A and B are shown apart, each in its own frame.
Chain A
Amino acid sequence: MTALPLILTVFVACAVEAVEALTIVLAAGLTREWRSTFQGMAVALAVLAAIVAVLGPMITLLPLTALRLVVGALLAVFGLQWLRKAILRATGYKSLHDEASAYRREVAAAKAAGASSRGRVRDWYAFTLSFKGVLLEGLEVVFIVITFGASQHNVGAAVIGAAAAVLVVAGTGIAVRAPLARVPENAMKFAVGVMLTSFGIFWGAEGAGVSWPGQDAALLGLVPAVALAALGYTVLLRRPRPARPAAVPASRQVTSS
């Protein structure tokens, strides 16, 4: 199996999370202070890199069968979470993630917060806002990098996909100095959900002792099958939407982020 599906999946997953982290970093930097914002971001990235550096090699020491069983189960569960949310958003039962309104909320909170400094950090609020935003959004990427990379014994390729996504999103964010509201986040989450679920099924079943018909080529059937099932559910469950997605009545929306 080539590293291309691995790199592409990690790239798209990381790009979605990086867009959400960028919204928080921009709100902290433009409203409060850039130096503390960058300090928070740098510390969070260092923590994420340390997690990958420690857990990546450790997890590859596991026997391949056990690794694929555990990683497959985790990826299938994780991928189904992404797919479920993407389908509920696409069908109108959950409001679409709106970077512009998320940005306005963060800016309002940042303006209202008081100023305080700690040690070398001049603005503690900007530091913690940036740190938490990057760390929490980055944890999902780290999870995907480690599980996906370890199962293919290629954590390095997964890291390349993640780093490329961070560079592309950060570069675009610096260029436009605004949240990337036009990125089709839900479609990207749908695609990542399909890939994670498919690979989770493949590796999980292999770990349980199954021999797939056609070996690795079975993925060429599995990925489209998962995509078709998810699209089928989307079509079946879609309901007529009001003119604006935000107008979905709160009582009919499914809770959670």
Chain B
Amino acid sequence: MRRLKSIGAFWYDFVVGDDWRVAAAVVAALVLTAVLVHAAGVNAWWLLPVAVFAALGWSLRRAIRS
């Protein structure tokens, strides 16, 4: 069980890294993009870049203030 936990912790750190909020923002932006494209018919190509730039700035600001 402990080994499983450490493997899980390794992969979490490997993929998600220091700030899980960045990963959450990327996933949320992708979900919103898919909803806009498929449900509302909006070609929201601009949404993910804007979300990524904002998430990066937010994460950097948090890192510097912490």
Contact = CB atoms under 8 A, between A and B. Distances in A.
Contacts of B22: 77, 80-81, 84
A225 B49 contact: yes
A6 interface: no
**Band of interface residues on A:** 35 or more
A68 to B, nearest CB: 11
A87 interface: yes
B56 A254 contact: no
B56 A80 contact: yes
Contacts of B16: 77
Cβ-closest 10 pairs across A and B: A209-B37, A81-B17, A208-B34, A208-B33, A210-B45, A205-B48, A77-B23, A254-B63, A229-B53, A256-B18
Contacts of B15: 74, 77-78
A40 interface: no
Contacts of A91: 64
Interface string A126-143: 000000000000011001
A41 interface: no
19 contacts: A73-B27, A73-B30, A77-B16, A77-B17, A84-B60, A85-B18, A143-B14, A200-B26, A205-B30, A207-B30, A208-B33, A208-B34, A209-B33, A210-B33, A210-B43, A225-B49, A226-B49, A226-B53, A237-B64
